[in-house]
């Protein structure tokens, strides 16, 4: 598949239609698929697009440069409060990585193609995975694979990675993981690569900070939509909408893509759209 196909895009636009007038924030603008749909669906409303990947942010800034109502900012969604003059009336967070990043060998996200073991969303800050691995003990590696990849064979995999050090490319990491497991390694590889991507980008740390601050920059009645791809992030969002005094779940609290959508876009298979409303 070429490019990034946005997930449940009509459901997201319909959800935002129910929200009060005002600014909509796309906190993970990526390939711009949802952003374009929001722009088309709400031609008169201001949009703020935030993206942690500098190349993507630059491409979107250029694409929307003639549009006086769309602002594009490079950075993490944790920085949104500092970008706003007024609270927002809607926000979207489509978590994880885009197909554009996954399919680019130079970014090191995919076990299918050879590339440097990087995995950073923001290529201008922090260390690539190859450097992070050098300073990790076997037990810490196993812990990351178990917690962020939810992979039970974490100790064996960690042992193989340590014995293969230095591991500097995606295919070297794939070979080490494959040696550790019997049978078809595809599922294990996805879990291990997911675990390291979460580690490199401190994804759950950023998400936790976002969830803590979110109520401060939304007006009462504002809608928030999250597209989640694994249970760790989905659970954090679920608990916020269900238990926080600042939010309530919508009815239904979540939706999944149609069979038709997952057939056309296999990446949508693990996606869940979770929605909540900021209460007064
Ligand atoms: C699934 S993609 C979004 C795709 C987008 N909705 C579209 O339709 O093209 C997720 C994007 O979030 C970005 N991202 C990940 N963590 C982020 C963070 N903390 N702040 C801002 N963007 C982030 C990634 O770089 C990636 O481009």
Our mutation pick for probing the ligand 1 site, out of 98, 214, 257, counting the most ligand atoms within 8 A of Cβ, is 98
Per DSSP, 103 falls in state T
Cα dihedral 145, 235, 41, 277 in deg (nearest 10)? -150
For the chain, 280 residues long, give each residue's pLDDT as a single digit of tens. 358 899 999 999 999 999 999 999 999 999 999 999 999 999 999 999 999 999 999 999 999 999 999 999 999 999 999 999 999 999 999 999 999 999 999 999 999 999 999 999 999 999 999 999 999 999 999 999 999 999 999 999 999 999 999 999 999 999 999 999 988 899 999 999 999 999 999 999 999 999 999 999 999 999 999 999 999 999 999 999 999 999 999 999 999 999 999 999 988 999 999 999 999 8
CB of 209 closer than 6 angstroms to any ligand 1 atom: no
Please name the residue whose Cα sits nearest to atom 15 of ligand 1.
96
Separation CA 67–CA 64 (nearest Å): 5
Are 96 and 229 contacting, i.e. CB atoms less than 8 angstroms apart? yes
Q: Which domains does the chain have, with CATH numbers?
A: 9-100+204-278 (3.40.50.150), 123-200 (1.10.150.170)
On whether the pTM is more than 0.95, the answer is yes
Cα–Cα distance, 277 to 215 (Å, whole number): 10
Contact (Cβ atoms closer than 8 angstroms) between residue 106 and residue 116: yes
Question: Cβ(107) to ligand 1 under 6 A?
Answer: no
> Measured from the CB, is residue 30 less than 6 Å from ligand 1?
yes
């Amino acid at each position: 598949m070429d490019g990034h196909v946005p997930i449940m895009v009509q459901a997201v636009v319909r959800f935002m239609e129910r929200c009060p007038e005002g600014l909509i924030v796309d906190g993970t603008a990526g390939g711009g698929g949802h952003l374009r749909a929001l722009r088309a669906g709400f031609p008169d409303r201001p949009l703020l697009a935030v993206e942690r990947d500098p190349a993507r942010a630059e491409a979107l800034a250029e694409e929307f440069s003639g549009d006086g109502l769309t602002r594009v900012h490079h950075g993490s969604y944790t920085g949104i409060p500092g970008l706003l003059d007024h609270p927002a009336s809607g926000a979207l967070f489509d978590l994880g990585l885009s197909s554009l990043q996954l399919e680019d060998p130079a970014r090191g996200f995919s076990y299918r193609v050879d590339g440097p073991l990087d995995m950073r969303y923001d290529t201008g800050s922090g260390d690539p995975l190859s450097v992070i691995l050098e300073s990790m003990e076997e037990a810490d590696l196993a812990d990351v694979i178990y917690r962020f990849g939810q992979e039970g064979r974490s100790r064996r995999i960690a042992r193989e990675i340590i014995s293969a050090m230095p591991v500097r490319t995606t295919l070297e990491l794939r070979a080490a993981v494959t040696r550790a497991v019997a049978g078809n390694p595809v599922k294990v590889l996805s879990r291990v690569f997911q675990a390291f991507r979460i580690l490199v980008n401190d994804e759950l740390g950023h998400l936790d900070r976002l969830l803590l601050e979110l109520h401060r920059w939304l007006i009462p009645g504002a809608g928030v939509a999250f597209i989640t791809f694994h249970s760790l992030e989905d659970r954090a969002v679920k608990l916020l909408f269900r238990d926080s005094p600042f939010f309530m779940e919508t009815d239904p609290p979540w939706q999944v893509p149609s069979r038709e959508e997952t057939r056309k876009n296999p990446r949508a298979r693990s996606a869940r759209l979770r929605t909540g409303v900021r209460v007064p």
